[in-house]
Every structure is written in structure tokens, then in C-alpha cells.
Amino acid sequence: MLRDADADVQKHYYDSKFHGIDWRARVQEARKNLETARSMDDAVSEIAALLDSLHDSHTFLLLPPRTHVHDFGFQMEMIGDRCYVVRVRAGGDAEKKGLKQGDEIRAVNGYPVSRKDFRRLVYIVNVLRPQPELRLTLMDARGGQRELEVMARFQLSTVNRYFLHQGINVRVRDAEEERRILRARYFEKGDDLLVVKIPEFSFSASEVDTMVGKMRAHRGVVLDLRGNPGGYVDTLDRLLGGLFQNDLKILDRVGRDATKSVSVTGRHHDAFTGRFAVLIDSESASASEVLARVVQLERRGFIVGDRSSGSVMESRLYPHEVALDSKFSYAISLTDADLVKTDGKSLEHVGVEPDTMILPTDQDLANNRDPALAKAAGLVGARLSPEEAGTILPYIESNQFQTTLSLND
């Protein structure tokens, strides 16, 4: 695995100078540490740390599926520079022990939570070293601090269930579940307002055209990209084209050997030209950030919410296989291009700064109020209270086990 990671980076990584780090020395250090690793988890963590030394949001190790998946029964998210519980699963250990929406998480297993290290923390807890329990240091809405141990629930992973009885039925149900969660959702308030929630950029051209057609029937549109990790470039290009009448250069793709200008094709008289706002948060990443920044630079609409993830690169997966007692597959995700916007800047590790910063408070979270959506609606000419905004497009609970958070695409 170390040899594969080293070879892939040297051959395919977009920056042949590796951001100025001594890559050969890092590889030698990892090789030395592997010789004294006490477990497979320790060994794999060394390779993950090697790739992490590039400080690149889209370069990381993808491990084979584990036999079981785990669920802690809650989701956490960075809001500004603080980490909050944003969702608690009914009936889980977290709910039974009193964890609530709006609780602030100060530390996980004794490690302070910060925006800078949040993504790395999630990767370790959910991917590298799944934990049977998490020890949370919490600050509640009244300012009281307490410790809470939350136990994980485990079940057979999807991959294993496919090979058991009724495997094909499980596969079909999982596909239907994914479509249910990733579909676009809409809220209309007369002709004045359409709110479009896009969980991920994973739509066909015809689906995007339908979306733009719905937009054109309204004077104001709010595109909700909060929690959207990115997705397909074709979906992004098609949707951006529907927001502009004329062709538009959106960025330069800076690769290892060449720089390529990237443009989208405007929709001319079929474009949506009404008032427009985009909602983003700390989990809006990749394609979400590109769309928001293009809208901002072109003064096409308002950007509302929190600063976005700052995870904006273009990457490819390089699959590998290892044969021990049996074969197992893993992959290296590698950045093959930086995406530089028309202002000459990259969003990597920077993110999109909203035109209007609106951060929900702990009380907003606890009471399901959505001040950011209320503000965005007002900017496009409609009226929503934070209480009403918090109910119009409720979170869709998955029937499948979920880890606390997932990595951005």
C-alpha cells in the first residue's frame, strides 16, 4: 500500500513539487514507522498520515469496506468556529443519554474540536479507527459543561449483506434509499419564492433542465447547498449554464502539465434571470463552492450562511488490490488539478465567504429555527419567518446506519 501511494503521488499528483515538502523523506519516515507498527490500524494510519502531509482536501486513502458499519446516533457540524450537535437520531444511545440539538461539542475523546482539524477528526473516527464509543465534552445552552459517553450501534455493512440471503433485494432497497435522499426537493410560496434543496450534484441533464424550468416560474429562488459535498462536474456545468444567458468562463483548471480554461454554455432565453440567493455552510464543498463563488464573482445573486468548507480541487481515484488470505481492494484519491477562479484565486483551504453571514445559535438549533433561509428568502423578495423556514424542508432521516459525518466528495 505504501509503494502504491508513493508511486501514484509521484506520477499523478498535480503539483510535481509537492507544495515544497520533502516527499522522499516523508516516504522514508513512513516506511520506518511501518516496521514498528503494532497493528494493521497503526500501519494503515501511517499511509493515511503520509497522504495527509500534502494538506490537500481531495488527496486521501480510501480503505476497503469494513465488515460492520457504525452509528453514534447524532450528527455534528462546525458553525462558524464552534462545533454543535445538529441532529439526534430518535431511539439511539445519544438521545437516551440526553444529547440534544444545540449542544456544543468542545472535545471528542479528549481532543479539542476546531474548524481547522474537524475534517481530520471525522476521518479518524469514522474511517481510520472506528470507535465503539465517543467521549464528548459538551457545553449546553445554559453554559454548563459535562462529559457524555455515547455508544455506537453496529450492523453488517452493505457489502456483506449483499452476499447473504436476499442480497439482490438489499441492493435494490439501498439504491432506492439513495435516490430518496439525494433527490432535489422544492418549496413554493406562490410565484414569489422557490426554495430548491440539492443534497449533492448528481443529476442528469434532463433533471437539471427540469429544475431550471421550475426556477423560471418564480420571481425569486433560493438554492440551498448547505451540507452539499459536491459531485459531478457535468451537473455543476449544466446548472450554472441555466443561471446565465450568455456563455461564461468560470475557472482555470491548473494541472500538472497544462492549464485549461473552463466555461459553461449559457441558456440564453431559457435561463432563469430572476432574483437569486445561494445558501452555504461549513459542509458545502467542492462543486457547491464553485457555484457559489461564480454567482458571487458575477454578481448574479446573494451568498448567505456560513463560510464554506474550502475543499475545492479536482481529483481521480486510483484503485489497487492486495492479496493476503483473500483479495481486498482500496484506492488512493489524488488531486490532479487546482481550480483557480476568474479572480486568480483558489478556494482550497479558503472557502467562500458569504455576502451575508448568518449563523444559527444554539437556541435556533434546539428549536428548529432557520434564520439563514429566512434571510435568503427576504433578499429575493419573499417573506419567511425563521420558525417557518425551519419546517419547510425537514431533514430526511436515512433508514440505513450512518456514521457521524462523511468526507467531502
So what's the pLDDT on residue 163? 52
pLDDT in tens, the chain (409 residues): 999 999 999 999 999 999 999 999 999 999 999 999 998 889 999 999 999 999 999 999 998 776 667 789 999 999 999 999 999 999 999 999 999 999 999 999 999 999 999 999 999 888 888 888 999 999 876 777 899 999 998 776 665 555 555 555 555 566 666 677 889 999 999 999 999 999 999 999 999 999 999 999 999 999 999 999 999 999 999 999 999 999 999 999 999 999 999 999 999 999 999 999 999 999 999 999 999 999 999 999 999 999 999 999 999 999 998 776 667 789 999 999 999 999 999 999 999 999 999 999 999 999 999 999 999 999 999 999 999 999 998 887 765 444 343 334 4
Spatial distance between the Cα atoms of 224 and 395, rounded to a whole number of angstroms: 13
The C-alpha cell that represents 118 in the structure block:
474537524
Spatial distance between the Cα atoms of 55 and 18, rounded to a whole number of angstroms: 10
Spatial distance between the Cα atoms of 289 and 379, rounded to a whole number of angstroms: 20
Four-way CATH pick for 179-313+337-392: 3.30.70.20, 3.50.50.60, 3.40.50.300, 3.90.226.10: 3.90.226.10
Spatial distance between the Cα atoms of 334 and 318, rounded to a whole number of angstroms: 8
**Nearby residues of 210 by Cβ (< 8 Å), 6 or more positions away:** none
Count CB atoms within 10 A of the CB of residue 83: 25
So what's the pLDDT on residue 409? 41
| Residue 1 CA: distances (Å) to CA of 52, 318, 321, 326 | 15, 12, 9, 16
The C-alpha cell that represents 100 in the structure block:
440534544
Domain ranges in the chain with CATH number 2.30.42.10: 68-156
Spatial distance between the Cα atoms of 283 and 408, rounded to a whole number of angstroms: 8
pTM of full prediction above 0.95: no
So what's the pLDDT on residue 175? 62
Domain ranges in the chain with CATH number 3.90.226.10: 179-313+337-392
Spatial distance between the Cα atoms of 97 and 109, rounded to a whole number of angstroms: 17
Architecture, CATH, for domain 68-156: Roll (2.30)
Residue 20's region, left for phi above 0, alpha for psi from -120 to 50, else beta, is left
Max Cα distance, the chain (Å): 66
Reported residue count of the chain is: 409
| Residue 371 CA: distances (Å) to CA of 60, 81, 302, 361, 377 | 35, 18, 15, 9, 10
Q: Residue 403: which of 206, 126, 145 has the closest Cα?
A: 126
Spatial distance between the Cα atoms of 59 and 206, rounded to a whole number of angstroms: 32
SS3 call for 160: helix
